[in-house]
């Protein structure tokens, strides 16, 4: 039996269909959304109708006017996250692999490979069950791969050891160069050079990855926004499955010691009063914005470096390490957290993004596109259910390597604990200064990476805090 060579085809998300108007305007329409895509020729719109079952990407290549129009239309759909990419025989009857983009700008590109190349699976790639499907994912990858052919899953298992492509393809006929090239482009696979040995704990082409454990990088990308497409936030995912747990844990049975009589219920000190006064403020008085002097005081009180010191030599094989002391506690005194201030309305400070240099107690302006700053404020307002942006949005970013160098497998959990400590420090300082603030549980790590040019696994958001002068009537 002759097997047809698999091709890559783009397919429109099943919830959407394309609506074409007589004037050539095209929109992707679902039950509750319509996304305008622009105007196209009759030939392009007729061909685009194939997106419902699969439009071969080869149809977008070439210099003809039709190919260029189709390319523009398909790229627009891709930017809106409305496409999957299918690898299988022409006609779309039987998929071998379906690629689901996970980042906004994913575009399938097969890296060039030859039979003599040696490849191995990335240590960040994992195969797991999702419903009735088997999916290959990696926190590094811009897309996930739904594996529809068990022979391909078996070949991936073989790739726990390096294999030359020629030998591998003799063992698994359905593995073609396109699929291997796509997996390589997504960093699911690595190409090993002569000096790379067995590919174990390799830098994977980026020395900053050496310090990441698999579970920590996965946790980071799946508990933030930007590098996956699942809903994030208060989604009440289990509301239909089981009732909520009680707000307060029912007491244990047994003898109790009542504490109420032992201490007065009223706050006994200014600090106890501060704790009671602390609350979240989500609406801000934009006619009375926070001032630069207040911001300086807030940052100096909460986050400034107080001293630097050296240590570490006492442990065998450990070099001398420089540490710092700051107003809040931090695991191992690593102080891996950095503050980035998105300023919307602050008297004496222009709108923009700034890095707080905790050592020099200074702000450094970072040039960022205004629309990305706007998107950041919009997301923060949405997360708080607020009517407008916070006056200052503080992103707490971690320099991951600073803490994983010492703590490895528990590094990410320590980072989140450190972020919690800093958030409460912010709350208390804001309350003490008569300002208002609110922690924000979500943050987009891809947007931050784009704004700063820092790779998501080098330095990135692990928390946010909205700050400003609270509105008295809110």
**Nearer to ligand FMN by C-beta: 172 or 274?**
274
Number of residues that bind ligand FMN (CB under 6 A): 12
Question: Which of 157, 441, 455, 474 lies at the binding interface for ligand FMN (CB under 6 A)?
Answer: 441
Min dist CB 430 to ligand FMN, Å, is 11
Beta strands in 30-142, from DSSP E residues, in sequence order: 34-39, 55-56, 83-88, 97-101, 118-121, 126-130, 133-137
Residue 140 contacts ligand FMN per CB under 6 A: no
Min dist CB 245 to ligand FMN, Å, is 16
**Nearer to ligand FMN by C-beta: 147 or 397?**
397
What is the DSSP code string of 225-264?
A: BSS--S--SS--TTTTTSPPPPSSPPPPSS-----GGGS-
Question: Which of 440, 449, 451, 467 lies at the binding interface for ligand FMN (CB under 6 A)?
Answer: 440
Question: Which of 60, 99, 125, 383 lies at the binding interface for ligand FMN (CB under 6 A)?
Answer: 383
> Pattern 238-277, binding to ligand FMN, x per CB under 6 A?
----------------------------------------
Which tokens is 315 given?
A: 């442990």
**Nearer to ligand FMN by C-beta: 54 or 436?**
436
**Nearer to ligand FMN by C-beta: 189 or 303?**
303
What are the C-alpha distances in Å from 392 to residues 103, 283, 289, 299, 465? 27, 12, 9, 12, 8
Q: Which residue is nearest to ligand FMN (CB)?
A: 441
**Nearer to ligand FMN by C-beta: 401 or 468?**
468
What is the DSSP code string of 311-364?
A: E-TTSTTPPPEEEEE-SS--GGG---EEEEEEESSEETB-SEEEEEETTTTEEE
Residue 439 contacts ligand FMN per CB under 6 A: yes
| CB atoms near residue 306 (< 10 Å) | 9
Which residues, 282 to 301, sit near ligand FMN by CB under 6 A? 282
CA distance 188 to 99: 12
- Helices 411-432 and 270-277 cross at an angle (nearest 10°) of 100
| 167 Cβ contact list (under 8 Å, min separation 6) | none
CA distance 388 to 367: 23
Residue 280 contacts ligand FMN per CB under 6 A: yes
Residue 438 contacts ligand FMN per CB under 6 A: yes
Min dist CB 274 to ligand FMN, Å, is 13
Question: Which of 384, 435, 449, 462 lies at the binding interface for ligand FMN (CB under 6 A)?
Answer: 384
* Contact positions vs ligand FMN (CB under 6 A): 279-280, 282, 383-385, 423, 438-442
């Amino acid at each position: 039996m002759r097997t047809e060579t698999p091709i890559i085809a783009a397919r429109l998300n099943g919830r959407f269909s394309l609506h074409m108007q007589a004037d050539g305007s095209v929109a992707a329409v679902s039950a509750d959304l319509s996304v305008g895509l622009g105007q196209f020729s009759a030939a392009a719109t007729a061909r685009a109708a194939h997106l419902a079952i699969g439009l071969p990407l080869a149809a977008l290549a070439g210099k003809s006017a039709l190919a260029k129009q189709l390319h523009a239309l398909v790229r627009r759909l891709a930017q809106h996250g409305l496409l999957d990419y299918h690898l299988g025989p022409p006609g779309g009857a039987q998929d071998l692999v379906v690629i689901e983009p996970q980042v906004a700008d994913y575009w399938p590109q097969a890296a060039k490979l030859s039979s003599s190349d040696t490849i191995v699976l990335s240590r960040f790639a994992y195969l797991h069950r999702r419903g009735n499907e088997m999916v290959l994912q990696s926190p590094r990858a811009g897309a996930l791969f739904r594996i529809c052919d068990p022979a391909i899953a078996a070949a991936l298992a073989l790739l726990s050891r390096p294999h030359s492509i020629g030998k591998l393809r003799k063992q698994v006929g359905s593995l073609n160069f396109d699929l291997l090239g796509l997996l390589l482009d997504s960093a699911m696979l690595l190409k090993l050079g002569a000096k790379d040995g067995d590919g174990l704990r390799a830098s994977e082409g980026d020395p900053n990855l050496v310090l990441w454990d698999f579970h920590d990088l996965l946790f980071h990308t799946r508990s933030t926004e930007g590098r996956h497409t699942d809903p994030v936030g208060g989604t009440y995912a289990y509301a239909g499955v089981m009732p909520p747990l009680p707000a307060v844990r029912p007491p244990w049975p047994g003898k109790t010691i009542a504490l109420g009589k032992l201490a007065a219920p009223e706050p006994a000190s200014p600090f106890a009063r501060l704790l009671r006064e602390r609350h979240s403020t989500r609406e801000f008085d934009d006619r009375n914005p926070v001032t630069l002097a207040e911001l300086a005081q807030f940052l100096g009180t909460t986050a400034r470096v107080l001293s630097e010191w050296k240590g570490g030599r006492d442990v065998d094989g450990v070099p001398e390490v420089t540490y710092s002391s700051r107003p809040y506690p931090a695991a191992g005194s690593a102080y891996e957290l950095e503050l980035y201030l998105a300023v919307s309305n602050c008297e004496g400070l222009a709108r923009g993004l700034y890095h707080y240099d905790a050592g020099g107690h200074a702000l450094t302006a970072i040039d960022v596109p205004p629309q990305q700053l706007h998107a950041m404020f919009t997301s923060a307002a949405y997360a708080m259910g607020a009517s407008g942006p916070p006056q200052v949005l503080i992103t707490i970013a971690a320099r991951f390597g600073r803490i994983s160098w010492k703590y490895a497998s528990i590094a990410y959990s320590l980072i989140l604990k450190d972020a919690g400590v800093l958030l409460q420090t912010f709350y208390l300082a804001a309350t003490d200064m008569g300002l208002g603030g609110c922690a924000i549980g979500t943050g987009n790590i891809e947007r931050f990476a784009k704004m700063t040019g820092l790779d998501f696994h080098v330095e990135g958001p692990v928390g946010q805090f909205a700050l400003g002068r609270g509105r008295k009537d809110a």
